[in-house]
Structure 1
Amino acid sequence: MHQHFKIYKPYGMLSQFASNANKQKRKRFLGELGQFPAGTMPIGRLDEKSEGLLLLTTDGKLSNHINSSGIEKEYYALVDGDISDDKILELQKGVEIGFDGKKYQTKACKVYKLNEVPNFPERSKKIRDMRHGPISWVSITLTEGKFRQVRKMTSAVGFPTLRLVRVRVGDILLENLQVGDVNSIAM
């Protein structure tokens, strides 16, 4: 019987359990968050500087299904500047980003500006705040997942991402998890 988990992946941690690469000896890995059954794998990835909801499973077929079926993944991005409605519309329609050395047009997606600051735990590494100029939070929901796509999208419209938190995969929500929390879930 397969096991499934949801975790709040912290900033600065890689979405893998270990590495033999010399350049990654000082990196942080998911194994720090607890003991997982043999064969546990992340479903998708969050880059080292991103945080939030990461699903883990012992079921490779489920992992492949979630990664390749267009299931929605929602992110909250803190961006540098007061993002305008026309830039939100550009993001919704899709923007051109670089991917694997080529230009890539992102698919249309759901994007809106958040009216309230989300209640996330304070990040381990400080980021600039409103004292240094305007910032805004946006929700971006994708059905694709290119390498650092959200960061590249917000930069493409002139609003670089300062903090990125995945809050939803399909119907599974980050909810009230704290950084580093691990919960077993049914899937």
Structure 2
Amino acid sequence: MSWFIRFNKPFDVLPQFTDRGSAVSPRRTLSDFIDLPGVYPAGRLDRDSEGLMLLTDNGRLQARISDPKHKMAKTYWVQVEGVPDAVGLKALCDGVELKDGLTRPAKARRIDEPAGLWPRTPPIRVRKSVPDSWIELTIREGRNRQVRRMTAAVGHPTLRLIRYRIGEWTLDGLDPGKWETLPMPQLPAPKPKHKMRRR
């Protein structure tokens, strides 16, 4: 039987099953929450980010979800410092120049704080003199800490980052630290490998 699960990763949990860091103060990992043998993440989610992770023991499915060439959309709820205006949102949509090049076109819009959102532990640091707001950002690439770098580039540092959707799968109905099995999606048939003709 193949496994395909969704998991709501809490803040400050490593997106892997083992911690190769300090043995003196071990950090929480996926193994503190998921007890299925043989599954591994389809893509990563930073330790200081929260939200949806998909895990499977099917290598083809893992590649289909995580490989940037498939351009699977990922949607994030982002709490930022300040209130982005139309110019800042347009910049996020059109592409932001980062140290590793221009980001691909994205979708960005201001939203209210998502309904039913759980409190973060520990809570974010807020400055009374600076307002904060939420945006929904959908991207189709996966550079290192990309969302945080994009919002910082338009003048709105990220305070809290939650991945809500990957492709057709969402966080809906899944509490932090919980996981559940999903139906295995149909994968395209693998392309036949052409044999080299001898001359």
User: TM (normalized to structure 2)?
Assistant: 0.86
Unaligned runs of at least 5 residues, structure 1: none
Structure-2 separation of matches of 1:174 and 1:2: 21
RMSD of the TM alignment (CA)? 1.6
Counterpart contact for 2:19–2:26, Cα < 8 Å: no
Counterpart contact for 1:93–1:107, Cα < 8 Å: yes
User: TM (normalized to structure 1)?
Assistant: 0.92
Equivalent in the alignment of 1:40: 39
Give the structure with the higher percent strand: 1
Deviates more, 1:64-73 or 1:21-30: 21-30
Q: Which aligned runs of 4 or more in structure 1 are off by greater than 4 angstroms?
A: none
| 1:103-114 matches, cutoff 5 A | 103-114=100-111
| 1:1-187 matches, cutoff 5 A | 1-22=1-22, 26-37=26-37, 39-68=38-67, 69-98=70-99, 103-114=100-111, 116-118=112-114, 119-129=116-126, 131-187=128-184
- 1:21 is displaced (CA, Å) by 3.9
Output the amino acid matched with 2:89. Answer: I
Counterpart contact for 2:8–2:174, Cα < 8 Å: yes
Equivalent in the alignment of 2:192: none
Structure-1 separation of matches of 2:174 and 2:92: 28
Structure-1 separation of matches of 2:109 and 2:127: 20
Identity fraction in percent: 36
Q: What SS does structure 2 have at the residue aligned with 1:151?
A: helix
